[in-house]
Amino acid sequence: MFAPIFIVLIVTVGPTVDTLEVDHDRERLAEEMIEAGEDPSALEEELQERAAWRIDLNTATEEAVRSLPGITPAEAAAVLAFRRRGGRFRSDADLRKAGLRSDAVTAIQPYIRFSPKPRRMQLEFVQRWTRTLDPGRGYGRDTTGTRYLGSPDGLSTRLRLQIGKRLTLGGTLDKDPGEPIEWPISYERPGFDFAAGYAAVEEVGVIGQAVLGDFSVDLAGGLLLGHGRMRASSIRATHARVRLRPHSSSREHGFFRGVGVATRAWRGWSAVGFLSRRFLDGRVEAPSWRLSASGLHRTQTELDGRRAIRESVLGAGLSYRRSFVEGALIMVEAGYETPSSLPLRRRRSVSGSMTVSRGPFRLALEAARREDAPAVAASLHLDPAPFTRVWLRALDSFDGALAAHTYAGVDGTGQTRRETSREAGVRIRPAENAAATLSSRWQRRPSSSSLPLWTRHVSAFVDVRAGAWLHVHLRVSERRTEEDGACMYGGRTLRCAVSSLRRGLRLQAEYAHSRTLRIRLRIETTHYRKRTKVARGMLMFQDIRWEPTPALRIDARLLIFGADDYGARLYAVENDLLYTFAAPALAGRGMRRYILARITPRPDLSVQIKYGLTSYQDVRTVGSGLDEAPGRQMRALRVQLRLRLGSE
């Protein structure tokens, strides 16, 4: 049995940003991250949070404006200059008057609002319940050996209280399917398996930002040109300074626990410092040790690895911004030890970066050092001609360097990795309603990595719009990888590099029949080759979004897929509950259907219900390991209630 569900209703303010909106960069980025072994859910969650907590463009802090996804630093400066001149934003037309491009206005629309006066207080409470309706053998009563300790229900409770512009309090409780809920509660086990919380203030005295509790750090242009994969995308966050981001997600990794402070700018100078100490899941078998990022504690084995390693992080930075020049110096020291203080590793990283932005030109350079390992990176964004954008990026670094969504100084295995990568792209907009993009990325990693040794990814896509109601998207991509494998030579098995090739073609049309009815149709094929093995995949889906009344919105999808094997798998990002992300990998043959309803009976109350069903052909079981279930289908039900109260 699980604890009673705390039903909290949250008012949805404005439309939720989701994948049915025209935002192929987000989908493409998410799929590239998945292919590279990264987790895009943090990126998606951040963008959804920004959409749920839109900033008032007239009263938001300068850093909040600069960090809007999809606009350049020059455009952010133009918005701030418009405000300083006494201008007031009342509609999108005012944004264009301030100097923003049309597509930048479209890009930031989900994240801004124009309110006559600021709100004094806002409370958001989210309660989510999920359950797989075809539980695996890990939940069986008669299973011998390992089994899950808890029920197949997933529970997540999130609370956020914003008081004025300055003070925010938040907390999250989370239980994954299979994890038990334990009573009585204690510091180590607060009933739910995971708990996070924070108190954050902004712009109080000399303090620009301060967070006590759980937070992550966005490093702008530091420690190898910022974090994650957002650096070369149109939705890249344009942070100009180091920014502390309170952690309210149910993700159990990729954040710090302690205190962080960033000062306000004084004559262009600002400073940041953060201190963190927390326990991480992992396994220590001297001399090797390994961190775990899953956050799952469903079995006794997984529980045994809980809080096995203690991470201590001390970070400090100094940044300067004046006119078109920005510079930053950042130092991070991270230490890992067992709870009994047996040291495992200590790393110190230092980086200095400089960014020059002038009109259509933005150049960022960074030099960093970890212990005796140097690293350099450079990035160039350029608009050489009207409606043309070029970007170049080169990186030669140690991987895992304080990315905001991974561990400080090391990767999930406790190791540091070098990475060399080159990236180039060009986007051309020959007409207002058409754009073509070509991008190429080459990446090399050392042989000790579990990821491919080298990867080359080339993609080209074309977007054409016919008015506001039809959008056609075509994408062609090719990905070549070389990874560690085993080859037979002269009757012996030797270690060798094995190359693979994966080609994809996607054609998608989005049609808005009316304000209340939209459809999206996609056809996608893949071709995969590895050694002598060739595999093909095909996917087709039909999405419908229908809003018969303002209080009801229905998203439905019918998807048919067929992939010869996992190498030819396909991904299809789905609409999902707020603050969650779903992009199932589809292999084998089958059909996936889901229906997602959002009911808003009152302005302060929103209920989302999602029922999904994946059925496979010619199989007897679905899933693997303890999640293996008999039959050919896997069904899941997800329900989320959201309450949002706000007062002027």
Partner 1 sequence: MRIGLLLLALCLADSSAGQTATRGARAAALGGAAAALANERWGESNPAAWAHAGAPSLSLHAVQLYGLDELRHAAALAVLPLAGGGAAMGVGTFGFDLYRETALTLGYARKVRPRTHRPILVGARLRWHLVRIRSYGSASVSGLSAGIVFPVEPGFSLGATAANLLVGPGPLRSELPRLASLGAAYSVGRRFLVSVEIGKDVRRPGTVRIGTEFRPVDAVALRCGMTTDPPTGAVGAGLDLGRLTADVATERHLVLGWTPSLSVHVTW
Identify the H or E element spanning 207.
strand 207-218
- 614 forms beta bridges with 592, 634
Residue 133 found at the interface with partner 1 (CB under 8 A):
no
Tokens for 204, please give them. 């109080």
Residues 6+ apart with CB under 8 A from 405: 38, 39, 42, 43, 216, 227, 228, 254
**What distances in angstroms separate CA 513 from CA 166, 518, 597, one per listed residue?**
43, 6, 20
Q: Does 617 bind partner 1 (CB under 8 A)?
A: yes
Given a contact cutoff of 8 angstroms between Cβ atoms, the answer to whether 182 and 335 are in contact is: no
The residue count of the chain comes to 648
Does the footprint of partner 1 cover residue 267 (CB under 8 A)? no
Between 357 and 525, whose beta carbon lies closer to partner 1?
Answer: 525
- Under the criterion CB under 8 A, does residue 612 sit at the interface with partner 1? no
Residues 6+ apart with CB under 8 A from 492: none
Name the residue nearer to partner 1 (CB basis): 93 or 517: 517
Nearer Cβ to partner 1, position 458 or 558? Answer: 558
| Residue 177 engages partner 1 in binding (rule: CB under 8 A) | no
Residues 413-442 that bind partner 1 (CB under 8 A): none
Candidates 358, 72, 404; CA nearest to 224 is: 404
Residues pairing with 557 in the sheet: 543, 594
Residues 95 and 70 sit within 8 Å (Cβ to Cβ) = no
**Binding residues for partner 1, total number by CB under 8 A:** 31
> Residue 562, interface with partner 1 (CB under 8 A)?
yes
Residue 525 binds partner 1, judged by CB under 8 A: yes
Considering only residues 453 to 482 of the shown chain, the ones binding partner 1 according to CB under 8 A are: 469-470
d(CA 313, CA 76): 32
* Minimum distance of partner 1 from residue 616's CB (angstroms): 9
63 Rama class: left (phi>0) / alpha (psi -120 to 50) / beta: alpha
The answer to the question of residue 509 lying near partner 1 (CB under 8 A) is yes
Which of residues 85, 492, 515, 620 is near partner 1 by CB under 8 A?
515
Question: Among 11, 590, 598, 608, which residue sits at the site for partner 1 (rule: CB under 8 A)?
Answer: 590
Tell me how far apart the alpha carbons of residues 346 and 331 are, in angstroms, rounded to a whole number.
Answer: 14
Phi/psi zone of residue 201: left (φ > 0), alpha (ψ -120 to 50 degrees), beta?
beta
Quick one: DSSP state of residue 567?
A: G
Binding partner 1 by CB under 8 A: which of 359, 374, 430, 548? Answer: 548
Quick check: 14 binds partner 1 (CB under 8 A)?
A: no
619 binds partner 1 (CB under 8 A): no
Cβ proximity to partner 1: between 319 and 526 the closer is 526
Q: Is 517 among the residues that bind partner 1 (CB under 8 A)?
A: yes
Task: Name the segment binding partner 1 (CB under 8 A); options: 47-55, 126-134, 379-387, 589-597.
Answer: 589-597
Q: Is 523 in the site for partner 1 (CB under 8 A)?
A: yes
- Cβ closest to partner 1, residue 462 vs residue 591: 591
Distance CA(455)–CA(451), nearest Å, equals 9
Closest approach of partner 1 to the CB of residue 614, in Å: 12
Which positions touch partner 1 (CB under 8 A)? 469-470, 509, 511, 513-517, 519, 521, 523, 525, 536, 538, 540-542, 544, 546, 548, 558-560, 562, 589-591, 593, 617-618
